[in-house]
Chains A and B, each alone.
Chain A
Amino acid sequence: MNHFQIFKDGIWSQNVVFAQMLALCPTLAVTTSGTNGLGMGLASTTVLVISNVLVAMIRNFVSPQVRIPVFVVLIATLVTLVDMSLNAWFHDLYKVLGLFIALIVVNCAILGRAESFASRSPVLASALDGLGSGLGFTLALTLIGLVRELLGSGTLFSQASLLLGQSFAFLETTVIPNYGGVLLMILPPGGFLVLGFLLAAKRIADARMARRTATADFSAQGA
């Protein structure tokens, strides 16, 4: 498998949320706004890349019988270190994200990638797989967050400058001013609803793409 394909699979066809249906707990819990989704996604991506690299590095020394506890200890340690460093050196960001960082430990996507990919692949491929899966996760979370935020509070990327710095303040837009908001979208059921509709949309897009490829193949044969 070439490296670009690994990266692309992580983002689209093997997308953690939209294809593998993994990590739904953090997905539904934090996506009340686009900014929250983006922040959680980026933090998870960081952990995912590092954990994939470390697992790939030690893969030949870890016996299969104890691999799960080893990976779990590794991931928990990483997340704790990320949590402490953010709290110490990026304290304002930590105040926005703090709650979610600890949730990364229970993100089964991370153990999933370690187990199914990094434990049997070279370091570079594992890093790319981590980056691809992480960015795919970020994409899914940001999308769900944006839809929920738009319907629920009528804004997009509110508080983005807290997460990304003042230079990203332009992202913060109020789409519908003086909007009462649909509370349901911010509450947990909104997460399930939006996830369901986005999943359906991805299925339709995939089916369209497959049909187009099939038709193209057929007409190529016919000609």
Chain B
Amino acid sequence: MSFDTAFVRDKLSYQAISLGVVALVASAALSVGNKLTGPAIAEAEARDLQSSLSQVLPEGSYDNELLKDTLDVKVSRGDTPATVLVYRARKAGAVTGAVFRMARRGYAGDIVVLMGVDAKGTLLGVRVIKHQETPGLGDKIDIAKTSWILDFNGKSLDNLPADKWAVKKDGGVFDQFAGATITPRAVVSAVKGGLDFFAAHRDEIIGD
């Protein structure tokens, strides 16, 4: 930079304009970046979703594209109307199962579980897809740490009475962790809530 720009740089208008130019260039760079990466990001996220959906549904139990067969089910949570997005699994056209998310407050923030049930309401699989529980204590609900979450497989409201849907400490059948009871309690409650939701809206989800 051989020329001296000091005398222009002290002008107020120069400062305003230079700031504007920088903001403009930054916005341009960001929108170009967004254009370039947008499709790839959407594709990667769809792939992620697909792989977590297939974790809670046994392979071969469906032959449709889950991501395209969705249904918004209206639920009334207190006074606020909300919807639960349900992915439907079909085999030869008939609905064989459903996958949806449920959330409960854990020890630190919401725990979100993704659960797959068959048409009768029996759990095919449950995975915790989002949580901020204490590492080393509460994160045992994560399939990457322990296999605790697999205990839910095969359970349903029919084969397990309502009062057994709790951790052992509360008289239920699910293990709690040493030093962390709130976390598994929240997961059990989320899964139970999900099954109740499915039972209440079964006709809507199964029948078209």
Q: Which residues of chain A have a CB within 8 Å of any CB of chain B? A: 32, 59-66, 69-70, 73-74, 76-77, 80-81, 84-85, 87-89, 91, 95, 152-153, 181, 183, 186-187
Chain A residue nearest to B144 (CB atoms) is A159
Chain A residue nearest to B42 (CB atoms) is A88
A81 to B36 CA separation, bound complex (whole angstroms): 10
Contacts of A70 in B (CB 8 A): 18-19, 22
Is the Cβ of A87 less than 8 Å from the Cβ of B134?
A: no
Is the Cβ of A60 less than 8 Å from the Cβ of B15?
A: no
Q: Does B150 contact A (CB under 8 A)?
A: no
- Using known A-B contacts A81-B30, A88-B44, determine if residue A63 contacts B136 with beta carbons closer than 8 Å: no
Q: Which 10 A-B pairs have the closest CB atoms?
A: A88-B40, A88-B37, A63-B9, A60-B1, A91-B44, A77-B26, A84-B37, A183-B136, A66-B15, A81-B33
A-B contact list, 28 entries, CB within 8 Å:
A60-B1, A61-B18, A62-B9, A62-B18, A63-B9, A63-B10, A64-B9, A65-B15, A73-B22, A73-B23, A73-B26, A76-B26, A77-B26, A77-B29, A80-B30, A80-B33, A85-B37, A87-B41, A88-B36, A88-B38, A88-B40, A89-B37, A91-B47, A153-B136, A181-B136, A183-B135, A187-B134, A187-B135
User: Would you call the interface of chain B mostly helix, strand, loop, or mixed?
Assistant: helix
Contacts of A77 in B (CB 8 A): 26, 29-30
- Which of A63, A74, A87 is the most central at the interface, judged by chain B CB atoms within 10 Å of its CB? A63
Q: Which residues of chain B have a CB within 8 Å of any CB of chain A? A: 1, 5, 9-10, 14-15, 18-19, 22-23, 26, 29-30, 33-34, 36-38, 40-41, 44, 47-48, 134-137
Chain B residue nearest to A186 (CB atoms) is B135
Question: What total count of A-B pairs have CB within 8 Å?
Answer: 69
Q: A63-B14, A80-B33 are in contact. List 13 more A-B contacts (CB 8 A).
A: A32-B135, A60-B5, A61-B9, A61-B18, A62-B18, A66-B18, A74-B26, A77-B30, A81-B30, A85-B37, A87-B41, A88-B44, A183-B137
A80 to B36 CA separation, bound complex (whole angstroms): 13
- Least distance between B75 CB and chain A CB atoms (Å): 30
Contacts of B18 in A (CB 8 A): 61-63, 66, 70
Contacts of A87 in B (CB 8 A): 37, 41, 44
Chain B residue nearest to A92 (CB atoms) is B44
Contacts of B5 in A (CB 8 A): 60-61
Contacts of B37 in A (CB 8 A): 84-85, 87-89
Contacts of B26 in A (CB 8 A): 73-74, 76-77
- Least distance between B85 CB and chain A CB atoms (Å): 22
A151 to B38 CA separation, bound complex (whole angstroms): 41
Chain A residue nearest to B16 (CB atoms) is A66
Is the Cβ of A66 less than 8 Å from the Cβ of B19?
A: yes
Contacts of A63 in B (CB 8 A): 9-10, 14-15, 18
Chain A residue nearest to B136 (CB atoms) is A183
A85 to B14 CA separation, bound complex (whole angstroms): 33
A181 to B33 CA separation, bound complex (whole angstroms): 43
- Least distance between A71 CB and chain B CB atoms (Å): 9
Chain B residue nearest to A62 (CB atoms) is B18
